[in-house]
Structure 1
Amino acid sequence: MTDPSFALTLSCPNKPGIVMKVSALIYEAGGDIVTAQQFDDTLENRFFMRVVFRCATGKMDVPALRALLATLGDELEADWQLRDRSQPRRVMILVSKFDHCLADLLYRWRRGEQAMDITAIVSNHPRETFNGLDLSGLRFEYLPSTKETKPQQEQKLWSLIEETGTELVVLARYMQVLSDDLSARLAGRCINIHHSFLPSFKGARPYHQAHARGVKVIGATAHYVTADLDEGPIIAQDVEPISHGDTPEDLIRRGRDIERRVLAKAVRHHLDDRILLNGSRTVVFD
């Protein structure tokens, strides 16, 4: 699902005239705006914008466009990113023994629903763990980890990320806590699926925690990874009602469906440049 168009995302202190200036710049560069979305965070006085545009005059001079955007970005004190949407992002998927999220991502990728190039599947469990999945044509790396070998394992992982040019890391039920150092290196480009509706029931065995509290809904949360465990900016969430008759095992079974659809949504939004960071929160343009 590649698209011969460009996506511009921008955030900056709010002031009058931002939309006009961005639109005029795109027009002058020969662009034709297809979609424009914006949000004004009045509490933080910060402006967010996502624009998708095509070239209306033949081939676009992208270096010249970037130079114009850099000048405007300095004027607006903006964080901005321009991406050619015809180039799928390079994505690495990390997984432990639970493979339902991995299976769902692979299915959507093969169906063309997730515009990404998979650089590798990485697991702390051997390939035989995933014999039920079709991993043909995909690079698989087995990187076991213990408390003693964790620094060396993460160094191998980081080397693999750099070697493959990976732009996004997806923790598809990867049951290892990333170190503060690796979390910092992957800031804004590492998505985790937590099997709970955060900020409730952080850490291990959240479904058992939820059952012990007698909750009436369970959920899942996709968020960017930070050094603070399960505290990163939230991207997507969903819930499902449960009853007093559901056991922890029932919650786990039903939770798998929520987890995979929430993770898929978060990954799709990231790949489509729909997420802008806003401090500890996100702006998500659906």
Structure 2
Amino acid sequence: MSHFRERRLRTFLEQYKDRARLLISCPDRSGIVAAVTTFLYNQGANIVESSQYSTDPEGGTFFLRIEFDCPEMISRKREMEEAFEPVAKQFQMNWRFSLHSELKKIAIFVSKEEHCLLELLWEWQAGELLADLALVISNHEHTRDSVEALGIPYYYIPVTKENKREAEREQISLLKKYEIDTIVLARYMQILSPDFVAEFPFRIINIHHSFLPAFVGAKPYERAYERGVKLIGATSHYVTDELDEGPIIEQDVARVDHKHHPEDLKRIGRIIEKTVLSRALKWHLEDRVLIHQNKTIVFK
């Protein structure tokens, strides 16, 4: 760990040791915010950020994300969860508390292209990506030196049609060994099996080198060039069984024209891809993304 990252992390953990988040989704009705804020007040908490959204005030789903400070929050978390149960039951809530000090453990999957991986490694080393980057898994050896130079374990697991099931079993075993919370596909050019996805529901984040839903699947830049598009983009989304159809977290675009050839589109696209993936991952790590059906509510 770099000295800068170590200092940044130590400062963050000390500054936010008493900060937590409460995330809620439930049927919309009056009194939800009042009940939650009253509960937090009675617990001695001070709300520092609050965001809410309703899909439809008449019979829709209500979403709420609250950040708050509360003395001795780390030791009181379990006690507070038990105290909140009656409120949650009253409003039929899906809910959870999370602590700022409990950094999520992430694993990065990568193939040959390294731009997204290198962006995440740089942000992690600079203390901008507040997560426990536990390991990198790749079906190629290309990025080993960049990863191991930072003291991060690197696992080379080749994948072929013949050994795919065995390779995924090995990957899953490693992810469970490291107690991984979130998997980041940083241009990992393999389609995950339904069995793999089922092990980590809505915990796998992908970057697709296209502005979905256009140009799903392989070679989107070549197909965008053939179509003569004037905008190209990238999409970060959660992985589901349907290829490139999972809930979208973030997207961005760049304007292009007839002078740009496929290689130009790829060069421009790489910049968008790494930026979009970084933003999506940070929002996920900060519990700013709530899933509703096949869409997301992102409290930025």
- Answer yes or no: same fold by TM over 0.5: yes
> Taking structure 1 as reference, are residues 116 and 129 closer, same or farther at Cα in structure 2, changes over 3 Å only?
closer
1:22 matched residue in structure 2: 36
- The match for 1:271 is 285
Partner of 1:40: 54
SS of the aligned residue for 1:240 comes to: strand
Amino acid at match of 1:178: L
Name structure 1 gaps, 5 residues minimum.
none
Q: Does 1:69 align with 2:84?
A: yes
Correspondence for 1:223: 237
Aligned to 2:267: 253
- 4+ residue runs over 4 A deviation: 56-60
Find the partner of 1:80 among 85, 95, 105.
95
- The one of 114, 120, 144 equivalent to 2:158 is 144
The residue correspondences of 1:1-286 to structure 2 (distance < 5 A) are: 1-2=12-13, 3-4=16-17, 5-42=19-56, 45-56=60-71, 61-126=76-141, 128-131=142-145, 135-286=149-300
1:36-71 CA-to-partner distances (Å, cap 9, x unmatched) read: 110111187010010001114787621111112233
Contact 1:30 1:60 in 2 (8 A): no
Distance 1:148 1:75, change over 3 A: same
- CA change 1:251–1:76 in 2 (3 A) is same
Question: Does the residue aligned with 1:61 lie in a helix, a strand or coil?
Answer: helix
Secondary structure in 1 matching 2:167: helix
Q: Is the 8 A contact 1:99 1:130 kept in 2?
A: no
**2:5 corresponds to which residue?**
none
**Counterpart code for 1:281:** K
Deviations 1:143-198 (A, max 9, x none): 11101100011011111111001000000000000001111221111100000000
Q: Percent identity?
A: 41
| Cα pair distance change 1:96/1:115, threshold 3 Å | same
Q: CA RMSD in A?
A: 1.6
Which consecutive residues of structure 2, in runs of 5 or more, have no partner in the other structure? 1-11
Distance 2:120 2:235 in 1: 16
Aligned AA (2:247): P
TM-score normalized by the length of structure 1: 0.96
For 1:212 and 1:271, the matched residues in 2 are separated by 37
Structure 2 length normalisation: TM-score? 0.91
Residues of 1 paired with 2:169 and 2:67: CA distance? 37
Helix, strand or coil at the partner of 2:242? coil
Q: Summarize the Cα distance change of 1:57–1:172 in structure 2 as closer, same or farther, 3 Å threshold.
A: closer
Asked if the contact 2:51/2:64 (under 8 Å) is kept, the reply is: yes
